[in-house]
Amino acid sequence: MRRKLVAGNWKMNGSRGALAELDGIAAAAAGTPGVDVGIAVPFTLIAPAAERVPGLTIGAQDVHLAASGAHTGCISAAMVAEAGARFTLVGHSERRCDRGESDADVKAKAEAARRAGLSVILCVGEQLAERDAGRAEAVVAEQIAGSLPEGAAADWLSIAYEPVWAIGTGRTPTLADVAQMHGTIRRQLAASIGGGADAMRILYGGSVTADNAADLLGAADVDGALVGGASLTAAKFVPIVSAASVIGG
């Protein structure tokens, strides 16, 4: 059985004062040894977060694909690793949609993160028009095929499926839709990397809350959650971790 992973993404939210929320999250993570827990914070909070809760896995929300150079305003994988990050997101829909990142960009970022010793959560997902056109599974399969880094393996890489139209809207696909898409992702992983696909975790991300976490985490091929707004407070995030613990056995 694949070990559950619950990762929070604070996006462009939080200040040093907000780091107090990590205390309760860290305590919950320590109390649920059957679940891996991480929080991706803004770049400015990586170092203070890692110092405040050394037992909690702190991550970045993105990295640049280059190791260094004339890239004003960008942060390399080595920089976030030095600050205390242990993983990073790549390919989040808000990077793909708002910043025009391609599958090739996402692949290069994942490979850069791996070279810096970071684990990676690689995000894929369709927009509403693509789902309405009946292309959701084809779009996601294409993203997997184009974004998977060289040497992709379950010990450092996870996939997060984000139906873009469900992020922050309160809308979620049906459980059957989620299971079907996660099955498609598993099959595409098998086509791309072979037998190692069985061990790779596939997370669901899209308006995950304490109310729907147990149902979503219990769907076929759902190995955890990528949580947005509900990860900003311990009160909302800890119940999701608890739900993962129950589902994970």
Active-site residues, by number, are: 92, 162
**C-alpha distances in angstroms, 228 versus 111, 151, 203, 246?**
24, 28, 13, 21
Q: How far apart are CA 217 and CA 212, in angstroms?
A: 9
- Give me the helix-helix angle, 136-147 and 175-193, nearest 10°: 30
In angstroms, the CA 167 to CA 177 distance is 15
* Helical axes 103-115 vs 136-147, angle rounded to 10°: 40
Query: Measured between alpha carbons, how far is 118 from 12 in angstroms, rounded to an integer?
Result: 21
* φ and ψ at residue 60, rounded to 5 degrees: -100, 165
On whether the CB atoms of residues 217 and 3 are closer than 8 A, the answer is: no
> Which ranges in the chain belong to alpha helices (H)?
21-31, 46-52, 77-83, 93-98, 103-115, 128-132, 136-147, 175-193, 213-217, 234-248
